[in-house]
Structure 1
Amino acid sequence: MIGKLDPETLRTVLDRTGASNPALLTGAAYGEDAAAIDLGDGETLVVSSDPISLAAEAAGTLGVHVACNDIAAAGADPEFLTNVIFLPDDDPDTIATLTSQLDTAATEIGVTIVGGHTEYVPTLSRPLLSLTAFGRTDRHIPTGGAEPGDKILLTKGAAIEATGIIATDFVDKLRDEGVDEAVIDRAATYFDEISVLEDSRALRDVATAMHDPTEGGVITGLVELATAANVDMVVDREAVPIRPETEAVCTAMGVDPLRIFGSGALLATVPADGVDAAETRLGEAGIASAVIGTVESSAATDVSAALVLDGERITEASDDQLYPFWE
């Protein structure tokens, strides 16, 4: 078994989070991207941790961006980062690659790596990273902030992260399936778009909620948004942008681009009268976006909040469809 805990098991874990503190504004909860801590004087510290255990060719790069994207989705600029690295052996090339990727990715977005921990764990078959990011904001944006009537925006497109992973970790399969080499090369560059910091900066003044769709992709991200806010996310699949390279590599792998790693895109809910401004700001930043649906009140009090995708109610996130390819 690989991936996120099911909601019930996760609830058990989250119910045991330790002593309470009045400074905690947003704590551990299903779907929330980051904790929010009141620093006083109108300032909020947001904190988020994320692991990287797969995507071997770009683990360091993804580790930085996945952790920092959660800070960005909470309305802050990531400032500091700690990294924990577990190595299966003492291969100097692995160490050099990981540390180089971590340093480059952090430098690119202006984040300072302030510490962490590194050790050997021979029982591992591949490196395991866990990174914690920190940032400050004067307007924390929770995952659970969506309101009925809001419009749902998606930046860039579905499966940005997965497209890069497939083009690097599974390149031989793509070639076996006849995917054009130029398509593979373009897909591999998608790692350059993993950060959503600029997306967040364009949207944070108008968004009611933002969320970074990671494992499980856009569908899981929308389920988490719906659950956190206790609303329905009503979405038209045809409205979700899917780039040609993504379509090509997903078809070759036999996976749904809406159900695989989605970092690089940002889901946001925006009041209907703020959509034009949001799209203008994104356009000025050179970021493509699309309105993919509407936030609605849940159908009844005894009905779970859901993603309503082309009329189908989805209340539970499914496993990421790329996971079986690493087993």
Structure 2
Amino acid sequence: MPGKLPVELLQRAFFSNIGKGDRVILPPMVGGDAGVIDIEGYELLAAHSDPITASHSRIGWLSIHIAANDIAASGFKPSWFITTLILPEGTKEEAILSIATDMKKAITELGGSLLGGHTEFSSAVSRAVIITTALGAGKREDMTPTSNAKPGDFLIMTKKAALEATSIAAHDLSQLLLERGLTISEIVEAKRYIDEISVVPEARILSSNRLANAMHDPTEGGIAAAAFEISYASGWAVELWKEPVTISDISKKILETLGVDPLFSLSSGTLLASIPPHKLETALQALSSAGIEASVIGKVLEKRERKLYLIKGGNIEMVISEIPQDDFIKRLSELGATEK
């Protein structure tokens, strides 16, 4: 039947062992209307919401981390989370507990707190829909908005491109990939990429040491879309060099099998950062010391235009002046693996 979850299940799944930070004055509870936090000592509160629509697997864990990434990319520590979960009628208790367990695991990893949310069964959805709002507080000088990229800044990326797309493909299209020649061990390894989705560690390193002018979390549209969005927000053209963009061999193989361009595919797990030239070596060293791979992949140009120049072999391969669509999500839709 449509309606709210049973109180006992709600309490057991979402309100127990969720971690209550010192600043949470009013935690989530049955019958409560809102969570309350104390932000004394902070100047700013950042908030961001993200739905999970392209994946069927581990959506509770993804929902927390992907929302947290955007707060971290803004320069703040993601601390509080509000999640809305709409479930198809007839969803089994074990499926609900699995989502809740993944949420708790992600929140614990981040040292955060669940502040509240909403859950219900509804005939409006055919599979679970989850949307998380993440919040983080900080000072004005902590901010690293995309609009703050400056001409001359170098663009760096952490880890590898298309980690998210690769993992989703391995989880949701494993049979198709096996039929097209991938091995079980390759698919198992690709599934593990989901564990690399968080960019909070590298974002905190760069922001706490004041090493980045701007940061951005590439989600839909991948690294190309994220680089264009930095250009659009800042008003300065950006050059993206294709050769230094790092992509794992398994990502290449899986996405090539699907006919998908990794540069334009879901890339949560990668952080883009706009770094002043005099801080570049320090930034790369700080990331390396923490065991985080980073590559220089472009530059902010002194051209007052909202354009991304894709460069290959020293030549302009493509000029992008609109946010590009996600190649991987488009392919998933064609395969009928997702609703978008």
Give the TM interval when normalised to the shorter protein: 0.7 to 0.9
For residue 287 of structure 1, what is the aligned residue in structure 2? 292
For residue 28 of structure 1, what is the aligned residue in structure 2? none
Name which of structure 1's ranges 171-180 and 312-321 shifts more when overlaid on structure 2. Answer: 312-321
- C-alpha deviation, 1:80, in angstroms: 0.5
- C-alpha deviation, 1:297, in angstroms: 2.2
Equivalent of residue 153 in structure 1, options 153, 156, 159:
156
Counterpart of 1:117, as a letter, is: H
For residue 241 of structure 1, what is the aligned residue in structure 2? 246
CA contact (8 A) 1:50 1:66 kept: yes
- C-alpha deviation, 1:53, in angstroms: 2.2
CA contact (8 A) 2:227 2:240 kept: no
- C-alpha deviation, 1:187, in angstroms: 0.8
1:319 aligns with 2:325: yes
For residue 62 of structure 1, what is the aligned residue in structure 2? 62
Distance 1:141 1:42 in 2: 16
Distance 2:126 2:263 in 1: 28
Matches within 5 A, 1:104-115: 104-115=105-116
For residue 82 of structure 1, what is the aligned residue in structure 2? 82
For residue 22 of structure 2, what is the aligned residue in structure 1? none
- C-alpha deviation, 1:257, in angstroms: 0.5
Name which of structure 1's ranges 120-129 and 265-274 shifts more when overlaid on structure 2. Answer: 120-129
Counterpart of 2:59, as a letter, is: A
CA contact (8 A) 2:154 2:280 kept: yes
* Runs of at least 4 residues off by over 6 Å: none
Counterpart of 1:69, as a letter, is: N
Counterpart of 2:69, as a letter, is: N
CA contact (8 A) 2:46 2:71 kept: yes
For residue 265 of structure 1, what is the aligned residue in structure 2? 270
1:215 aligns with 2:220: yes
CA contact (8 A) 2:74 2:215 kept: yes
Equivalent of residue 144 in structure 1, options 147, 150, 159:
147
Distance 1:181 1:251 in 2: 17
Deviation string 1:11-61 (CA, Å, 9 cap, x unpaired) is xxxxxxxxxxxxxxxxxxxxxxxxxxxx78663211111111230112111
1:253 aligns with 2:254: no
Name which of structure 1's ranges 84-93 and 288-297 shifts more when overlaid on structure 2. Answer: 84-93
Equivalenced residue count is: 285
CA contact (8 A) 2:52 2:129 kept: yes
- C-alpha deviation, 1:290, in angstroms: 0.2
Distance 1:180 1:306 in 2: 40
Counterpart of 1:269, as a letter, is: S
CA contact (8 A) 2:231 2:306 kept: yes
Distance 1:89 1:284 in 2: 49
What is the RMSD of the two structures over their aligned residues, measured on CA atoms? 1.4
- C-alpha deviation, 1:119, in angstroms: 1.0
1:164 aligns with 2:184: no
1:175 aligns with 2:178: yes
SS in 1 for 2:144: coil
For residue 97 of structure 1, what is the aligned residue in structure 2? 98
Unaligned runs of 5+ in 2: 1-38
CA contact (8 A) 1:161 1:261 kept: yes
Distance 1:100 1:51 in 2: 18
Distance 1:320 1:162 in 2: 10
Name which of structure 1's ranges 98-107 and 64-73 shifts more when overlaid on structure 2. Answer: 98-107
SS in 1 for 2:152: coil
Deviation string 1:83-112 (CA, Å, 9 cap, x unpaired) is 000111232232122111111111111111
Distance 2:190 2:152 in 1: 36
For residue 5 of structure 2, what is the aligned residue in structure 1? none
Deviation string 1:237-275 (CA, Å, 9 cap, x unpaired) is 111111112111111111000111110000000001111
Deviation string 1:122-153 (CA, Å, 9 cap, x unpaired) is 13121111111111122111111100000000
Counterpart of 1:272, as a letter, is: P
SS in 2 for 1:77: coil
For residue 201 of structure 2, what is the aligned residue in structure 1? 198
TM-score, normalised relative to structure 1: 0.84
Counterpart of 2:55, as a letter, is: A
Distance 1:295 1:265 in 2: 18
| Percent identity of equivalent pairs | 36
